[in-house]
Structures are given as C-alpha cells and as structure tokens.
Amino acid sequence: MNIRKLIAASACAMTIVAAQTPPPANPQNGRGARGGGRGPNFPQQTRPLAAPEVLARGKALYGVHCSACHGGDLRGGDQGGPNLLRSMLALGDQHGELIGPVILGSRQDKGMPAFNLLATDTTALAEYIHSVLALVGRQGSPPGGEGGANLKILVGNAEAGKAFFDGKCASCHSISGDLKGIATKFPEPRTLQNTWVSGGAGRGRGGRGGGEDPSAKPTTVTVTLGDGRKVEGRLVRIDDFDVSLIQSNGVRQTIAREGDAPKVEVHDPNAAHKALVPTLSDKDMHDVTAYLATNK
C-alpha cells in the first residue's frame, strides 16, 4: 500500500484496546446496558460503609498504630508493612473477622506485631480499611489516581525547541500566526503537548487515544471516475469496496471500488504530522513543548 492509502487508513479514529479493557460506559449505539459492569463494582466498591463515627475512630487508630508501617495512604510504608489496598486478606474480610486476628498477633512470625486492642477497635480499623479500599479505581488504580498535578511536565529546552520548530514546523505553522497564544489556549502542559503532537487529535486527558478535534480540518477525497470525471468532497468512510463522500453541495455519494479502480486520492490534513511524529525523539518533543509553552 502506498503512503497515501496508509494515511487514508489512519484517518479513521484510532482504536487501541487495553488489556481486557471493559466496554465504554456510554456506548455510542446506546442499546441497553451494554456498558454494564464497567467497574469498579466489586464488593469493596459497592458494600455499605460503616457509620461515620466508626470510620473516624478507625482512622484515628490507624494513624496511631498502623500508618508508620503501612503508610498513611495504606499503600505500604518504609518499615516494610505491605500495601493493604491489594491485600488478599483485607479484600476478603467483611467486618474485621479476618483483619482482627492479624492485628491481635496471628502473624507475628511474618513480622506483624501484636496490638492489644479491643474488638470494637479492630472492627473500626477494618471498617476504615474498607472505606479506603472502596476508593480503588478502575482496573485497580490507586485512590486519587488522576493525580500527578504536582509533577513537572515542562522539562525541555525552549531554545532547542525553537530551533526544531523553525526547521521542521515553520513551513506550515507560525508562532505569531495560527499558533499565537497556544499556551494560553492550552495551559495544561500535557494537553498542549498532546495537541501539537497529534495535530489537534488526541488532545484529551486520560484514555489512550482521545477524540478527533471537531474544529480540525476534514479529510477530503478525490475520486477519478473511468470517464475522467472527478468527484470530490469530505471523506465519510472508505474500505476495500466503497468510498463515501459528501460533496460541496451537501450531496452524499458512495462509489464502488474494485482494486485500484477508480483512482482514489485521500487528502489527510494531518499527513505532515503523521510523517513527522514517528521520527520525533522524546527530547525533541519535550523541547518543542517547552518552546510552545512560552507562547502565551
């Protein structure tokens, strides 16, 4: 396949399927509860929480007795206490019947000290642990998984980024023209980087692909019929057997394909990005992002 066809093929929204990725919550076709069970809807996330005063007591006890070893966030601590949010025992516990004996000393041979606590205290601790387990997110991500807000994304060299931009991007883009104020439009550095790398697509946070920008220029197609007549318009869909387009007068037309006939030329406005991005080093990418970030 030639590069044009390849670009045409890539014009379609990308589909990347993560490991056992559950279906989306709101399927486009909206038939019934197809997205049901998107999770997290395991017992830890759906069970009723204990009364607030019990949880408050459990939290206070945890801070005093447990957090030094198991971490303030329950994900394990410097002193070797394991992560309780993935503990098979904690996950299997209902109301302290499994967790309680461990607190009281049943695992001293494995290094877990014995604590002399009342049954109401061990129950409160267990209920508190369950209340944090309830916050475990989709596909086992830790509570507060959309974090990272304090991480430094802008690590590139803006000057080097300008040099790269001038050499590779300036033939299509201008910092004082189409990209004027881009860092104001996209103040979040990840979004800024996602946007320029993908050429407007894949801007979104989260997810693996991200949707196409509705304001982006459409992909167009020119079909040269057997009699030499050309049909042009916005590409709707293309496969091995048909190409569908909407002409400038709004008329939708589907033309049958058989092998290379008729001749189909797809014009992808994002073709330059698709040619550039596979050659982009991470350093170049970070440098250009740093440069664009100065452009408020």
Partner 1 sequence: MTPMKKVLLSISSLSLFLQGQAQNGLDPVDILKPLSDQWTTYSGDYSGKRYSALAQINQTTVKNLGLAWVTRVTAGTGPSGSAPGGGGGRGGGASAPIIVGGLGTGDLNTGGARFSGSILQVNGILYLSSPDNAWAVDARDGTILWHFYWKTRGGTHTGNRGLGMWHNNLYLETHDDMLVCLDATTGREKWHKEIASFDQQYFSSMAPIVVGNHVLVGTGNDLDAPGFLQSFDPETGDRQWIHYTVPMNAGDPGVDTWASLDAARHGGAQVWIPGSYDPETHLYIFGTGNPTPAYTTGRGEGDNLYTCALVAVNVDTGKMAWYYQTSPHDTHDWDSTETPILVDAPFHGAMRKLVLTATRNGYFFTLDRVSGEHLVTGKFGLVNNWASGLDSQGRPKRDPGKDATVPGSLVNGDVTNYPPPAYSPDTGFFYVPENNSLRISYLIDDDPRGSMGLGGTMGGGGLSFGSALIALDYKTGKVAWRHMLSGGSSGLLTTAGKLLFGGDGSGNVVAYDPASGKPIWHSRIGSVGNAPETYMLDGHQYLLAVGDDQLFAFVLH
Q: By CB under 8 A, tell whether 24 contacts partner 1.
A: no
Nearer to partner 1 among residue 15 and residue 184 (C-beta): 15
We find the least distance from the C-beta atom of residue 119 to partner 1, in angstroms, to be 22
Q: By CB under 8 A, tell whether 25 contacts partner 1.
A: no
Q: Contact with partner 1 (CB under 8 A): which of 56, 68, 113, 208?
A: 208
Residue 43, φ and ψ in degrees, nearest 5: -55, -35
Q: By CB under 8 A, tell whether 280 contacts partner 1.
A: yes
Nearer to partner 1 among residue 62 and residue 121 (C-beta): 62
Q: By CB under 8 A, tell whether 214 contacts partner 1.
A: no
Q: Contact with partner 1 (CB under 8 A): which of 180, 185, 205, 263?
A: 205
Single out the residue of 218, 196, 219, 198 nearest to residue 208, CA to CA: 198
Q: Contact with partner 1 (CB under 8 A): which of 122, 123, 131, 193?
A: 193
Q: By CB under 8 A, tell whether 16 contacts partner 1.
A: yes
How is residue 248 written in tokens?
């400038």
Q: By CB under 8 A, tell whether 41 contacts partner 1.
A: yes
The 3-state secondary structure of the chain reads CCHHHHHHHHHCCCCCCCCCCCCCCCCCCCCCCCCCCCCCCCHHHHCCCCCHHHHHHHHHHHHHHCHHHHCCCCCCCCCCCCCHHHCHHHHHCCCCCCHHHHHHHHCHHHCCCCCCCCHHHHHHHHHHHHHHHCCCCHHHCCCCCCCCCCCCCCCCCHHHHHHHHHHHCCCCCCCCCCCCCHHHHCCCHHHHHHHHHHCCCCCCCCCCCCCCCCCCCCCEEEEECCCCCEEEEEEEEECCCEEEEECCCCCEEEEECECCECEEEEECCCHHHHHHHHHCCHHHHHHHHHHHHCCC
The footprint of partner 1 on residues 98-127 (CB under 8 A) is none
Q: How far apart are CA 238 and CA 270, in angstroms?
A: 17
Q: How far apart are CA 67 and CA 258, in angstroms?
A: 68
We find the least distance from the C-beta atom of residue 91 to partner 1, in angstroms, to be 5
Count of residues of this chain found to bind partner 1 when the rule CB under 8 A is applied: 95
- The span of 99-107, 213-221, 245-253, 283-291 binding partner 1 (CB under 8 A) equals 283-291
**CB neighbours of 26 closer than 8 A, spacing ≥ 6?**
35
Q: Contact with partner 1 (CB under 8 A): which of 48, 52, 118, 151?
A: 151
We find the least distance from the C-beta atom of residue 53 to partner 1, in angstroms, to be 26
Nearer to partner 1 among residue 16 and residue 118 (C-beta): 16
The footprint of partner 1 on residues 223-262 (CB under 8 A) is 237-241, 259
Nearer to partner 1 among residue 227 and residue 240 (C-beta): 240
Nearer to partner 1 among residue 191 and residue 224 (C-beta): 191
Q: Contact with partner 1 (CB under 8 A): which of 28, 29, 176, 249?
A: 29
Q: By CB under 8 A, tell whether 9 contacts partner 1.
A: yes
Q: Contact with partner 1 (CB under 8 A): which of 26, 28, 46, 248?
A: 46
Nearer to partner 1 among residue 8 and residue 121 (C-beta): 8
